[in-house]
Amino acid sequence: MEEPANILVVDDELGIREGCRRVITAMGHRAEVAATGEEALELAKKHAFDLILLDMKLPGVSGMDIIQTFHEIDPDLVCIMITGYATIQTAVEATKRGVFEYLPKPFTPDELIAIINKGLERRRWLLEARRLREERERSLLAVAEEKSRSRTIINCMMDGVLVTNREGQLVLYNPAAMRMLGIKTALPEAVPVRGTLGHPELEEIIAGSLSPAASGTAMVVREIEVGDLVLMANVAAIRSQEALTGTQPPVERQSSPEQGEILGCVAVLRDITRLKEVERIKSQFVSMVSHELRAPVAAIQSYLDLMLSGLAGDDPEQRRHMLIRCSERAKALIALVDDLLQLSRMEAGRVARKLEPVALEDVVREVMELFQSQASEKGISMQLHSSCSVPPVLADKEDITRVVTNLVSNAVKYNKEGGRVDLTISCSDGYVRLDVADTGIGIPEQELPRIWEEFHRVKTPETRGISGTGLGLSIVKKIVDAHHGHLEVESKVGEGSVFRVYLPAASDFRSREAASASGSG
């Protein structure tokens, strides 16, 4: 759109409304704001808007409930849902109601600008498509001969677009669709869809939408997997009747479609891999919390019930043993909460680090002393090997202590009775290197790439009885990355594992920083 766009911001938070207004105005567009759904509807009746930023949770009528009303006012209005509660279910429901995209809270000005530009691209394409529909009613193959302007717009879209004629020949597609489907070369003009896309399920959906038997279905929405991607495919037949060109709201068109001659079909592919991954991580988190929080609390409750009921007896030593067990369980809970809080702070970028020269050997000795009792219970010997000439590392001591603690904890926890843990500190090309080697159960080779993922735990018969959150190694990697270091791991099942941590030496890091500063100056 050559002229400034009209954008409506609907959110019950004043800060978000005004922040969005400032960003939109700075982009050269016009902005109106509303705090409630009712106020937004009144504005929509008085003014023509190109795009609406709509909060899902509003006082009174919710954002999801008024999407249909906005599309009754303007069927081509682009709606972007602002929410902090995105799930696959709400995404599917919102897509069916005509929502174009999600903007999760909190968001940055750059994220807002990007999604507004994407939405205005969508608006431009919708208006162009409406103009073409009103201009001519002919087969999509004839329209394809004059589609250069539409192709330019479609090629800029991040969603994949496939358009066929009534014979099932592909007459229009964009690079996003080819990328999602893994097609590397350009396709011939009017090539049959069957056998071309390399995905039989999608080809079958497109063929079905062109069949007379599917005349009662306005749109098919289905998740399909293509390699490592999960795509939301929206496939609909394009009909000749005017009733389908925009006079009905989307929900009505899907539930009671008008009949008409089928001219072809359009398939829109949206990559929802990230949403599915968020859903998977959430599921893992819920599973972990239900076990790792419930089990210690249940144990503490059992011990306290025994003492309160008098069934624990009068033996002071027995009572002391129960209290010690309660204390151990409580400490495990505190450690879990600390890990979750630390991970949350790292993800949000709110970790304040005090970088100073840190003697890694001193940190390692402190951690070894902390785990000496636990290692002795399993008959595990711990040895430190270090060169006296190893320089300090430039790091936050608390962070480095957490790294060493997590690695030594795993080396002891997953070790065998009577095993060994060897910690070696050395120099390596400007880095201080710490090796933590154990003689434990080892890690299967196929699991090694995933051990740094949040909440991921290697599940084998040997690990079944060992408690853990799946956060330790994820925190280790985030800390080491933040200190400009790197990690290596070697492991053999039944023989043990070696984790190597490389951290910049304090003197080398400072000399590189100085060289970088002088070079830039």
pLDDT digits (tens, 9 = 90+) for 396-439: 888 899 899 989 988 998 898 999 999 999 988 889 999 999 99
**Residue at a domain's end among 210, 236, 271:** 271
Are residue 316 and residue 370 in the same domain, yes or no?
A: no
Are residue 198 and residue 299 in the same domain, yes or no?
A: no
Q: Is residue 264 one of the residues assigned to a domain?
A: yes
The string of pLDDT tens digits covering residues 370-402 is: 888 889 988 999 999 987 688 899 888 888 998
Q: Is residue 517 one of the residues assigned to a domain?
A: no
Are residue 324 and residue 383 in the same domain, yes or no?
A: no
**What value, to the nearest 5°, has the Cα angle with vertex 463 and ends 462 and 466?**
125
Q: Is residue 232 one of the residues assigned to a domain?
A: yes
**Residue at a domain's end among 224, 249, 271:** 271
Are residue 364 and residue 505 in the same domain, yes or no?
A: yes
Are residue 303 and residue 413 in the same domain, yes or no?
A: no
Tokens 């599940």 belong to 459
Are residue 52 and residue 117 in the same domain, yes or no?
A: yes
Asked if 119 and 51 count as a contact pair (C-beta separation under 8 A), the reply is yes
Q: Is residue 520 one of the residues assigned to a domain?
A: no
* Residue 481 CA: distances (Å) to CA of 7, 20, 340, 474: 40, 33, 18, 11
Are residue 33 and residue 152 in the same domain, yes or no?
A: no
Pairwise CA distance, residues 327 & 324, whole Å: 5
Nearest partner of 403 among 441, 426, 433, judged by Cα: 433
Are residue 196 and residue 294 in the same domain, yes or no?
A: no
Maximal C-alpha separation, the chain: 94
Pairwise CA distance, residues 51 & 54, whole Å: 10
Q: Is residue 70 one of the residues assigned to a domain?
A: yes
> If DSSP codes are grouped into helix, strand and coil, which group holds residue 497?
strand
Are residue 374 and residue 479 in the same domain, yes or no?
A: yes
Q: What is the pTM of this model?
A: 0.43
User: What's the number of domains the chain is made of?
Assistant: 4
Cα torsion 97, 99, 100, 104 to 10°: value is -140
Asked if 160 and 180 count as a contact pair (C-beta separation under 8 A), the reply is yes
Q: Calculate mean pLDDT across residues 329-356.
A: 68
Are residue 323 and residue 361 in the same domain, yes or no?
A: no
Asked if 56 and 85 count as a contact pair (C-beta separation under 8 A), the reply is yes
Are residue 205 and residue 301 in the same domain, yes or no?
A: no
User: What pLDDT score was predicted for residue 521?
Assistant: 45
Tokens in use for 397?
């001591």
Are residue 361 and residue 431 in the same domain, yes or no?
A: yes
At 303, phi and psi to the nearest 5?
Answer: -60, -45
The string of pLDDT tens digits covering residues 39-72 is: 999 999 999 999 999 988 888 777 788 888 888 8
Q: Is residue 108 one of the residues assigned to a domain?
A: yes
What is the span of the domain harbouring residue 233?
A: 136-271
